[in-house]
Structure 1
Amino acid sequence: MAKYFPQALRDFKESEFLQLRQGSMSLTDYERQFEQLSRYAPHLVDTEVKKIRRFENGLRPEIGMIIMSHRFTSYREMLERAHAISYQRTSFEQYAQQSKESSGKRKWNDPNKDRCNWQSKRPNTGVRIGGASGNITLCPKCNKLHRGECLLGKNMCFRCGKPGHIALNCTEPPKRKDDDQDKNKKGKARVFALNQHEAE
């Protein structure tokens, strides 16, 4: 022992064992290193309690904090629990990564993406009344429904369109549409269906 394993080397290995931490190692690799280096410092792990505490001190904080909250009677029991926690954390991290990647793909490959954007970019035309030829929108100036140019602030009658008075005091009779125009409009809205005999 003195020739092939001098005291200086033993001290170095013991120091290495005392400084051993899991860090970026997997739990299996940490366990292997712990078992190898503990042989050079048997007095530090000569009881189950000492061995458990020494192993716990080197674990990563997210595993060590959970392990330290339990009281284990044997090193093997503690080791099995540590492996179970490590496996659960690894599985959860992989699942979270896959979910993140798949949500990223859905975000860019969404078939409704363009349609949604197009709908959101359509201008807000307010309330619509009537067909395509009779749209009435909410005026942003007077906050009322009307067609054409807004007369608010121009001192003009909303009823007859003449200046000098308001619609409340207007003496002009309300504008009536021509009967011919009404007939024409009604005629445009009609639908005719012919059978073969009538068409001939």
Structure 2
Amino acid sequence: MTTMNAVAEAVREAAVAAARAVDRLGVRNGNENEHGEDSGNNGNNLGHLERPMTLATFLKVKPPKFKGTLVATDADNWFLAIERSLRAQHVPEGQHVEFATYMLEGEAEHWWQGIQRLLQQDEGDIPWNTFKDEFYKKYFPRAARDAKEMELMQLKQGNTTIAEYARKFDDLCRFSKICQGNPADFEEWKCLKFEGGLREELMNSVVPLEIRNFAELVNKSKLVEECSKKAAIARADRREASRRDLIQNLAPQGRNFKFNGQFDRQNRNQRNGNFLARNNGNYDNNNLGEEEGGQSQQTQDISVCSRCGKDHGNRACRYGTHTCFSCGEYGHISRNCPKGLFEIQPGHNNKEGFLP
């Protein structure tokens, strides 16, 4: 009887174990989708990390392609982007090189085919770190990284805005050996370096604040820059107002005065007209000046005829009368004078006998 009871107990335990196994199998099948991939219902979600992933699944995130470049930062940007894509799809580490190199095209693809033959002599998988070292050795060598670090050390704000300066500063920091590891270890260094590159008028306002958080430092610098711009505009407006007041005070009294240089232009044109009038009078008078009639320049300017615009002294103006300038008779000109007289009257063209 005891033996039969022991056998029955063993059968019941076997049945319970079989039922539990069936239950576990059903749960596992429920967590997999129609493509055999884990649906994510498992609490610890570790099954999909252990199974290989198909290339089609990886391409769903549209990872970037790389055709090769002469710009080192472009190569670095691509590598960082492909790493994000691999992490986003939870690609197993053993497939990182396979999927990443699938995105190489053109010159980059030819380069990798040659490197792959050298690295796979033992037919084993190429580690991700090995691919990374070879990629950076080709497209972002140490000399290029050193040049970027030197550019960071010499970076100044110059004529750029705070936003542009901070963007360039952050971009160069990722290539610096100082800015590697835990950000808290080099946060103060970044702040000091950033302050040292600011323009003098901004530096004088920002440095006394002693900000040692980089994000806060950039925001405060932007505020100071904005206030500085507003102050500069206000100063310019005050200078312009002072200049206008000065010009108004210097304007002649009792005249219609307009700004923007109109009064100055009128005075200047008037002076030029007087100067030309005096010169024309001197030229037509054969530059006789004070030698003819003993009159001064001022007297000649006053005695200019209002009818012909010339200076002919005390003689009557014969302009337009068709009168001989030699004998004074009407009907002929001086060159055809029957009396044979030919007298030059100042201020007139005696070749024709009268002014046209």
Under a length normalisation based on structure 1, what TM-score does the superposition of the two structures give? Answer: 0.52
| 1:102 to 2:237 alignment | no
Deviations 1:78-133 (A, max 9, x none): 1111111111111111111122123223332x2784239xxxxxxxxxxxxxxxxx
- Report what 2:332 is aligned to: none
SS of the residue corresponding to residue 201 of structure 2 reads helix
Moved over 3 A (4+): none
| 1:32 to 2:167 alignment | yes
Deviations 1:24-53 (A, max 9, x none): 222222112111111211524742211111
State the distance in 2 between where 1:60 and 1:49 align: 20
Residue from 138, 141, 151 that aligns with 1:3: 138
For 2:162, the aligned partner's letter is L
Residue from 166, 177, 195 that aligns with 1:56: 195
SS of the residue corresponding to residue 13 of structure 1 reads helix
Give the conservation status (yes or no) of the 8 Å contact 2:162–2:218.
Answer: no
- Report what 1:114 is aligned to: 252
State the distance in 1 between where 2:173 and 2:214 align: 13
- Report what 1:83 is aligned to: 222
Give 1:13 shift.
0.7
Equivalent runs, 1:187-198 vs 2, <5 Å: none
Structure with the bigger percentage of helix: 2
For 2:253, the aligned partner's letter is R
Identical-residue share of aligned pairs (%): 26
- Report what 2:208 is aligned to: 69
Deviations 1:121-169 (A, max 9, x none): xxxxxxxxxxxxxxxxxxxxxxxxxxxxxxxxxxxxxxxxxxxxxxxxx
How many residue pairs are counted as aligned between the two chains?
116
For 2:173, the aligned partner's letter is S
State the distance in 2 between where 1:112 and 1:14 align: 59
Give 1:56 shift.
0.8
68-77 or 78-87: which moved more?
68-77
SS of the residue corresponding to residue 115 of structure 1 reads coil
Give the conservation status (yes or no) of the 8 Å contact 2:195–2:207.
Answer: yes
SS of the residue corresponding to residue 21 of structure 1 reads coil
Give the conservation status (yes or no) of the 8 Å contact 2:202–2:225.
Answer: yes
Give 1:67 shift.
1.8
- CA RMSD after TM alignment: 2.5
For 2:236, the aligned partner's letter is Q
State the distance in 1 between where 2:244 and 2:141 align: 60
Give 1:8 shift.
0.6
Gaps of 5+ in 2: 1-135, 255-356
For 1:114, the aligned partner's letter is P
Give the conservation status (yes or no) of the 8 Å contact 2:187–2:214.
Answer: yes
| 1:93 to 2:204 alignment | no
State the distance in 1 between where 2:166 and 2:212 align: 18
For 2:232, the aligned partner's letter is E
State the distance in 1 between where 2:201 and 2:249 align: 41
Equivalent runs, 1:136-151 vs 2, <5 Å: none
For 1:12, the aligned partner's letter is A
SS of the residue corresponding to residue 64 of structure 1 reads helix
* Bigger-Rg structure (1/2): 2
Give 1:19 shift.
0.2
SS of the residue corresponding to residue 52 of structure 1 reads helix
Residue from 130, 149, 159 that aligns with 1:14: 149
Give the conservation status (yes or no) of the 8 Å contact 2:191–2:213.
Answer: yes
For 1:5, the aligned partner's letter is F
